[in-house]
Amino acid sequence: MKSHVTFRNIVVAALLVMLALVPLYSAWIGNNFALILFTRIVILAIAAVSLNLIMGYGGMVSFGHAAYLGIGAYVVGILAYEGVPSGFLQWPLALVVSGLFALLIGALSLRTRGVYFIMITLAFAQMIYYVAVSLSRYGADDGLTIYRRSQFGGLDLSNKVVFYYVCLALLLLVILIVWRIVNSRFGMVIRGAKSNERRMRAIGFPTFRYRLTCFVISGVICGLSGALLANHTEFVSPADMHWTRSGDLIIMVVLGGMGSLFGPVIGAVAFLLLEEGLARLTEYWQIIFGPLLLAVVLYARGGIDGLLAGGKRG
Amino acid sequence: MHAAESMACLREVNVAEPLLEIENLSKRFGGIVASDNITLSVEKGELHAIIGPNGAGKTTLISQLTGELTPNAGRVRFAGEDITAMQPWRRSLQGLARSFQITSVFLDLTVLDNVALAVQAHAGHSFQFWKNSRKDPSIREPARAALAHVGLSGREDTVVSRMSHGEHRQLEIAMALATKPRMLLLDEPMAGMGPDESARLVKLLKELKNEYTILLIEHDMEAVFALADRISVLVYGRVIASGLPDDIRKDAEVRRAYLGEEKRAKHV
Amino acid sequence: MGLRGDARSMVLFIEQCLNGLQFGLLLFLLAAGLTLVFGIMDLVNLAHGSLYMLGAYFAATFAALTGSFVLGAVLALAATLVVGMAVEVIAMRRLYGRDHLDHVLGTFGLILFFNELVRLVWGPAGRTLPLPDWLSTSVQIFPGVYYPTYRFTIIFVALAVALALYFVVMRTRIGMLVRAGASNREMIGALGINIKLLYTFVFGAGAALAGLAGLMQTPILTASIGMGENILIVAFVVIIIGGIGSIRGAFIASIFVGLVDTVGRAFLPTLLKLFLTPAAASAAGPALSSMLIYLLMAIILVVRPEGLFPAANR
């Protein structure tokens, strides 16, 4: 039987331990920079996990997932602005609204596939972006400041360490949920549909309803990530759902390694650290990053996870 | 052609409706007529073979039977029910299973996963999100049985992309069987097989004949004449002859149009 | 001053229709280039917008250097063509035959690269391109009603290019390949055409079309970083509505989208005021206006997911 003690699994375990210890590290060196950076990484890792569910396991390449990030964030921001600070109302509503948008957009987009699907998800996300820009009551282009984080009674989210561990716990919960889903009956249908949709229909599966459900689940999880992001930055703006953010999410998933449980986490860590590091090198860091991305696409297609697993993927 | 009636006289088959009835099926693509007023039927329990040269429209016919293509005219009736406009997945649930001419399986999954999916499709809805389906005996056991039936038992955990072409063809049939069908539509199951593999497949089909109604499309004439209860000949989208194997063998028009090529007909 | 209320509305409507036609034709130039490249090389090029942007910046610079608008435009066109062919040789060649996701990611990297490069070379502020006197006039279309000469020029040039494109697609061997949706190397080789040269040429042609669109709109909208992506997404909407791989579909859809967007934006707020309160109309107006073309796309997706004039075998 296969051993679970592989190089790759050791790296993943080490990564998780490292993530758990970030607040201690920050306390030790006396400044919060690492804590703030890694809170953002963990939050975007949740979004990346949601995208990997439909992309890596389902073969649905959504170039519009930042829309659900933004929607989740805006629900929290708008409710906070309108005097509803309770997290017990904000977060569930963020999930529901993201889910509804995913349902609508998915129902329209999933009638197509391949390039069409990519373009359509991009177009709808752009539409949502423009709607956010036109919301003058909620700051339009300039965005909306959130003066109080989501209130959960005893749980104080404005404490950065508490908030970090909440995010980390949610990340692990989301990974657990995705793990169960992809190995369940539902997950097998999704994976079969990615592998050979024509055959799936021939053996008796109405694939559309399953893929749509998967798309909605992904949108809901991404909406959660948005709610967390709004709390983290205490600010929401249309920039959160600019199409380049959707591109960033795709990069995280591919960089980390598609279709593996922890790939998106690796990808989020790698991407955001790289972004941070390159930005320190030069103001024009995207001149390096752009071609670097192209190189990864051409030569390291299985992502980091693929490299760790011995390059068998890709 | 009223082969159905003569059949009923020759064999003790009940004269009730045929399992599959195709009436005046027509399909055109622009100016090309792929199916020209095709009428034929398949009796319950028989193995009905369809032969014809390349380009005769055999795959177009099967695609209309499975629902991937919509005919321009005509009807398809299965077990008395009009399925002409029914979607492919519903037809499968009705009991009409198909194997593909060009292997169409789940290459990145294991053999058992492939067949398990076929079982799962007919085991109620799949909106279960938590239980591990690979550990579900109600799916795994029937899947193993189907694999055993075609002779792939030892290959359960092999990733399909690593198997040989012949094993792929066996898998195609296992997946069709796993859906517990009433009728099998087999599209050139022996395509690309060597003589040993073909012989094994003929033996399997002889066994399957006893349990399932089969519509078989094939180029391999030896297999066709060894297996078929009735044969229909398709040329340029039209049925030019339909009846018992011996009658077909002797039919002059058929010989002219097709059987003269018998020696070259074994599909490579 | 001398016209009555409803006559003024009529004039405004005609003006907006002409603007819509002009915008639509610019969209067509972009969409045609995208469709050509996709049709022949099966390549999804997100960086098409970057070439649009380069055309604009080159025109601004060369016009300033040479003191002549026309000379500047011609040089800009040539420069964009050269850049396009260089990009094809250096980067695109390695992407042919790969997954569409690889194309999306790789060209996304190129977008980042070009945006940053432009920022490095030209600075973040953007560039203007002033019109020479002879183009700054107006033409009288009805008694007392004038329309800018330059906008007519755009319409004229774009229509001329469209006609030339029609000729090439309908009457040449290359055009036959486009119409056949041929991304089949053997078929191309069998016709005695040098594949590498053909691909470089086609990509260059697409780049030139994008550059032309970019430079022509610069006097109106200026050259700015990221301008390419906003209009690229609209070009995607055009292609989805028109049918991927179809130049005829792209033409009809671009005019349609151009008109809906321009006329819609101009008249929707007024229309809304007919049955909403002024406050609601001015709040909803901008949001709905920006959503119009996406709603149009959504309707097409429901009614005819393959587009209005899909190329036969895609």
SS (H, E, C) C80-137: HHHHHHHHHHHCHHHHCCCCHHHHHHHHHHHHHHHHHHHHHHHCCCCECCCCCHHHCC
Tell me, what's the pLDDT at A141? Answer: 85
Tell me, what's the pLDDT at C314? Answer: 35
Question: Which range is least confidently modeled, A230-234, C9-13, C298-302?
Answer: C9-13
Is A123's CB within 8 Å of C94's CB?
A: no
Q: Nearest CA to CA, how far is C193 from chain A (Å)?
A: 27
Strands C138-142 and B20-29: unpaired
Q: Nearest CA to CA, how far is A293 from chain C (Å)?
A: 5
Does the pLDDT at position C80 exceed 50? yes
3-state secondary structure of B77: strand
**Amino acid identity of B58?**
K
Is A186's CB within 8 Å of B98's CB?
A: no
Is A203's CB within 8 Å of B179's CB?
A: yes
Separation CA A140–CA A129 (nearest Å): 10
**pLDDT tens digits for range C193-221:** 677 888 888 899 999 999 999 999 999 88
Tell me, what's the pLDDT at A312? Answer: 42
Whether the predicted interface score ipTM is above 0.90 = no
Is A115's CB within 8 Å of C244's CB?
A: yes
Tell me, what's the pLDDT at B67? Answer: 92
Question: Closest Cα to residue A305, out of A277, A268, A275, A273?
Answer: A268
CB atoms within 10 A of CB A8: 18
* Residue A144 in tokens: 């909306």
* Residue C108 in tokens: 């996304």
Residues B95, B183: contact at Cβ < 8 Å?
yes
- Give A202's contacts in chain B (Cβ within 8 Å): 66, 88-89, 92, 98, 100, 104
- Give A251's contacts in chain C (Cβ within 8 Å): 105, 108
Residue B78 near chain A (CB below 8 Å): no
Interface test with A, best of C37, C108, C261, C268 (most A CBs within 10 A): C108
Out of A109, A244, A297, closest to residue C102 by CB: A297
- Give C120's contacts in chain A (Cβ within 8 Å): 284, 287
3-state secondary structure of B187: strand
- Give A59's contacts in chain C (Cβ within 8 Å): none
Separation CA C96–CA C210 (nearest Å): 21
Is A181's CB within 8 Å of B179's CB?
A: no
Question: Which range is least confidently modeled, A50-54, B218-222, C282-286?
Answer: C282-286
Burial category of C168 from C-beta neighbours within 10 Å (exposed 0-12, middle 13-18, buried 19 and up)? middle
Long-range contacts of C144-151 (CB under 8 A, 24+ apart): C144/C2, C144/C3, C145/C11, C145/C14, C147/C15, C147/C18, C150/C219, C150/C220, C151/C18, C151/C19, C151/C22, C151/C220
Closest chain A residue to C98 measured between Cα atoms? Answer: A298
CB atoms within 10 A of CB A89: 15
- Give C305's contacts in chain A (Cβ within 8 Å): 111-112
How are strands ordered across the β-sheet holding B32-42? B32-42, B20-29, B73-78, B81-82
Tell me, what's the pLDDT at B260? Answer: 59
- Give A115's contacts in chain C (Cβ within 8 Å): 38, 44, 100, 244
Tell me, what's the pLDDT at C178? Answer: 63
Cα torsion B12, B17, B19, B23: sign: positive
**Which ranges of chain C does DSSP label H, i.e. alpha helix?**
5-41, 48-66, 69-90, 100-122, 149-171, 173-179, 185-190, 195-221, 227-242, 247-275, 278-303
Is C287's CB within 8 Å of A135's CB?
A: yes
- Give C302's contacts in chain A (Cβ within 8 Å): 108
Separation CA B183–CA B185 (nearest Å): 7
Give C168's pLDDT tier (boundaries 50, 70, 90): confident
Q: Nearest CA to CA, how far is A56 from chain C (Å)?
A: 11
Residues A171, A22: contact at Cβ < 8 Å?
no
Separation CA B148–CA B156 (nearest Å): 10
Residues A289, C112: contact at Cβ < 8 Å?
yes
| Partners of B28 in beta bridges | B33
Is C106's CB within 8 Å of A293's CB?
A: yes
- Give B107's contacts in chain A (Cβ within 8 Å): 195-196
- Give A258's contacts in chain B (Cβ within 8 Å): none
Polymer length in residues for chain B: 268
Out of A181, A195, A198, closest to residue B108 by CB: A195
Out of C109, C240, C291, closest to residue A293 by CB: C109
Polymer length in residues for chain A: 314
Out of A202, A207, A210, closest to residue B66 by CB: A202
Give B192's pLDDT tier (boundaries 50, 70, 90): confident
Give B114's pLDDT tier (boundaries 50, 70, 90): very high
Interface test with B, best of A185, A194, A207 (most B CBs within 10 A): A185
What residue ranges in chain A does DSSP mark as E strands?
144-145, 235-236
φ, ψ dihedrals at B29, nearest 5°: -115, 100
**Chains contacting A (3 or more CB pairs within 8 Å):** B, C
* Residue B146 in tokens: 């189907």
Question: Closest Cα to residue C279, out of B216, A137, A311?
Answer: A137
Question: Closest Cα to residue C55, out of C219, C210, C246, C222?
Answer: C210
What are the boundaries of each domain within chain A? 7-308
Out of A198, A203, A213, closest to residue B121 by CB: A203
State mean pLDDT over C148-160. 91
Give B5's pLDDT tier (boundaries 50, 70, 90): low
State mean pLDDT over B110-116. 95
Residue B98 near chain A (CB below 8 Å): yes
Structural domains in chain B, CATH included, are 3-95+181-265 (3.40.50.300), 107-180 (no CATH)
**pLDDT tens digits for range B228-247:** 999 999 988 889 889 999 88
pLDDT tens, residue order, chain A (314 aa): 456 778 888 989 999 999 999 999 999 998 899 999 999 999 999 999 999 999 999 999 999 999 999 999 999 999 999 999 999 999 999 999 999 999 999 999 998 888 889 999 999 999 999 889 888 888 888 899 998 898 898 888 889 999 999 999 999 999 999 999 999 999 999 999 999 999 999 999 999 999 999 999 999 999 999 999 999 999 999 999 999 999 999 999 998 888 889 999 999 999 999 999 988 888 888 888 899 888 888 887 777 777 777 644 43
Question: Closest Cα to residue C21, out of C135, C147, C138, C143?
Answer: C147
3-state secondary structure of B98: strand
Percent of chain B with pLDDT over 90: 60
Residues C30, C212: contact at Cβ < 8 Å?
no
Residues C100, A118: contact at Cβ < 8 Å?
yes
Give B3's pLDDT tier (boundaries 50, 70, 90): low
CB atoms within 10 A of CB A17: 9
Cα torsion B92, B97, B99, B100: sign: negative
Residue C90 near chain A (CB below 8 Å): no
Separation CA B198–CA B192 (nearest Å): 9
Rounded to whole angstroms, the maximal C-alpha distance in chain B is 63
Is C120's CB within 8 Å of A63's CB?
A: no
Q: What is the pTM of this model?
A: 0.90
- CATH code assigned to A7-308: 1.10.3470
Closest chain A residue to B99 measured between Cα atoms? Answer: A202
Question: Which range is least confidently modeled, A196-210, B35-49, B63-77, C232-246?
Answer: C232-246
Closest chain A residue to B95 measured between Cα atoms? Answer: A204
- Give A192's contacts in chain B (Cβ within 8 Å): 106, 109, 117
Does the pLDDT at position B4 exceed 70? no
Tell me, what's the pLDDT at C6? Answer: 75
Out of B68, B109, B133, closest to residue A195 by CB: B109
Residues B64, B70: contact at Cβ < 8 Å?
yes
Q: Nearest CA to CA, how far is C284 from chain A (Å)?
A: 8
Does the pLDDT at position B144 exceed 60? yes
Residue B86 near chain A (CB below 8 Å): no
Out of A123, A250, A287, closest to residue C294 by CB: A123
The more confident residue out of C182 and C108 is C108
Q: Which residues of A touch B (CB under 8 A)?
A: 180-181, 183-189, 191-192, 195-196, 198-207, 210, 213
Is C111's CB within 8 Å of A290's CB?
A: yes
Out of A122, A130, A294, closest to residue C110 by CB: A294
Polymer length in residues for chain C: 314
* Residue C260 in tokens: 């809906």
Question: Closest Cα to residue C295, out of C237, C245, C246, C235?
Answer: C237
**Amino acid identity of B36?**
D
- Give B117's contacts in chain A (Cβ within 8 Å): 188-189, 192, 200, 203, 205
**pLDDT tens digits for range B202-218:** 999 999 998 999 999 99
Separation CA C148–CA C136 (nearest Å): 7
Which residue do the tokens 């099926």 mark? B25
Separation CA C241–CA C304 (nearest Å): 9
CB atoms within 10 A of CB B24: 13
